[in-house]
Amino acid sequence: MSSIEVRNFCDIEADLLSQTSFHHEVDMQSVDCNYYDSDTFNQIPADGPTFSLFHANSRSLNKNLESFLDFLSTLDHDFSVIGFSETWLGNNRSPLVQIEDYIFVENHRTLRKGVGVGLFASNKLSFVKRDDISVFNDIIESVFIEIKASNGKNYNSPILVGVIYRPPHGQVQCFNDHLSELLSKISNDNLQSYIMGDFNFDLLKSSSSDFLQLLYSNNFLPTITRPTHVTNQSVSLIDNILTNTTCDSNYRTGVFITDISDHFPIFLRTHPCQDNEESGFYARNYSESNVNYFMSTMHNIEWNVINEIVDVNDAYNTFFSIFGNHYEKSFPMSYVRPRRSRKKRHPWISAGILQSIKRKNKLYKKYLRDASDDGTHFRIYRNKLNHVIRIAKKNYFSSKFNSCKNDLKRTWEVINNVLHKSKKDKFLYPTSFYHGYGEITDKKTIADAFNDFFVNVGPTLASSIKSNANASKYLKGSNPSTMYLAPTDENEVVKISLSCLQPNKAAGFDGIKPGIVKKVIPLISQPLTYIINRSLETGIVPDHIKVAKVVPIFKKGDPMRCDNYRPISILSCFSKIFERLVHNRLYNFFTKSNVLYNGQYGFRPNHSTELALAHAILKPLEYSPRSKQKINRNFFRLVKGF
């Protein structure tokens, strides 16, 4: 086929299906597959929640990922999963191979370079990697994830998504055998499934019939019906998105016209089987007017009734009842609809450069369509644009480094930003956990399982460790037998509150924001001072402030196991005020009475773990030269501390 014939054949205005045998073999009338550029894609109506996939043969992610991200930033849509074949990643892949707000899952060759597959899943999705399905060898390369159902927040039923690459010179029958076994496993799981990839079977040719029959026999259909690989010698349809889903046949699929690699990217958008429930949430309205209203109500309250209550618990409960009722009225709960986030792009990609990227893609599209165009205009424009982008990126980081050249901390922040280390991926908790001998999915049961683990792990570990150590030997020979905790006053309560409450910190179980308490603390210092002094006098801490909201923080390992989490306790902001006042008094007593052991380096001013290490290293050196003894040091790391 001549170059002119190929480019006429690839006319995006033409009906390609009428020119191929593929149309007659597959009934894909429900699939709307067309060629797109940024503008035509952005005209697709966003009619409700969608599940969307993007795939491209990257021909090296290290080289081309940035170009793909620049292209994706021209689209008014965030894909659910972004897949790549021919990633060409080795064991030491570049830390730049990341996409913000996505989690990367991949398989690559360990013994030799080349190929590899991977996908970026949105961090809004709860998913697990399915290594039991993935096959990776010289014949077929694949990676799969299972997106968990999430009670209407994501999808009502699990979705399996994978990427497959078939090396073009591999044995066809061996590939079909591997694929048949893989599809059989997927069918047994009875999951809604999507498989993206470069299969290197040209569906425009009859030689792909065995591959197609294999798909049909396992209830899979290809959704891309336009050529995806165009050269001066040929056109072929070798990239596709396969699916076995029947719950919604109104797919919209397409092929993007871009010159990033020698394969056109492909996409699929559909409405998955899910409730139409919006993923909004309820939140309090902390507007400035509401804050001012709350402060005015606090100013008008007569707190003398608290001073008449002798019991500490009753006094605090009365105080919090009054405070909480006004808090509820001033900051009512309201339903918040999710707002569409602004499309993220590289900070050096200006609006002008973004338009230039779109212009470049239009010139490339014109070059493919117009047989009389030799591509000179497109190539000149592309090369100039690439030069402009490189200069813009260089100038951006030069400016960043110059602005912080005398600040080492900020310099490392810029470096970490370049390496995508400035932000951690948002962690999404699994929808099920392993506990005892089975899997649990009920939220209350999961919470009870975490509580059981956190409550018992410390005593269980302690009981398993036999020790003859006597902690009393670290105490002084004589210590004070009594201790006096001085009462506080309103000025100290206000001062302590202003210093220890951080507005950006989370609220405790009572839902009271520290920033709001900080604003009204002068108006409520009188009842708090009375309650705190009664607590110091009686030795009774109000039960209400003993309750903490415990948040499990994932460390590493299997996220479905409770023992791979550590607990973080979030206290009420009133509890923090109590705590700081008592801490100051206890620490002053310990310091004045010289109770603390000299080797206690933690949680003391002018002490640190670095000083502890220096002491451990330097102290033995004072004696070893004289005694001519060898020094042996053992260092160990506590993986779990409770």
pLDDT at position 472, please? 74
Does residue 520 register a pLDDT over 80? yes
H helix or E strand, kind and range, residue 515: helix 514-538
pLDDT of 37-64, one tens digit each?
999 999 988 766 789 999 999 999 989 9
Does residue 15 register a pLDDT over 60? no
Average pLDDT over residues 386-407: 90
pLDDT at position 249, please? 57
- E strands, 32-126, are 32-36, 51-57, 81-85, 102-107, 117-122
- Residue 332, number of CB atoms within 10 A of its CB: 10
Does residue 21 register a pLDDT over 90? no
Does residue 231 register a pLDDT over 60? yes
Lowest mean pLDDT among 33-42, 94-103, 319-328: 94-103
Average pLDDT over residues 209-234: 90
Lowest mean pLDDT among 23-27, 162-166, 253-257, 354-358: 23-27
**Selected residue with higher pLDDT from 637 and 102:** 102
Lowest mean pLDDT among 81-95, 150-164, 502-516, 579-593: 150-164
Instruction: Return the residue matching tokens 């994978």.
Output: 162
Instruction: Grade residue 10 by pLDDT with cuts at 50, 70 and 90.
Output: very low
pLDDT of 104-115, one tens digit each?
999 987 766 668
Q: How far apart are CA 311 and CA 535, in angstroms?
A: 9
Range from 248-262, 303-317, 449-463, 599-613 that averages highest in pLDDT: 303-317
pLDDT at position 230, please? 86
Does residue 567 register a pLDDT over 50? yes
* DSSP-derived 3-state class of residue 626: helix
Q: How far apart are CA 127 and CA 149, in angstroms?
A: 9
- E strands, 130-262, are 141-147, 159-165, 192-198, 221-222, 229-230, 235-236, 239-243, 252-256
pLDDT at position 2, please? 39
Phi, psi of 356 (to 5 degrees): -70, -35
Domains with residue ranges and CATH for the chain: 3-42+55-270 (3.60.10.10), 283-337+480-598 (no CATH), 351-418 (no CATH)
Instruction: Grade residue 151 by pLDDT with cuts at 50, 70 and 90.
Output: very low
pLDDT at position 497, please? 94
Mean pLDDT score of the chain, rounded to an integer?
84
Instruction: Grade residue 177 by pLDDT with cuts at 50, 70 and 90.
Output: very high
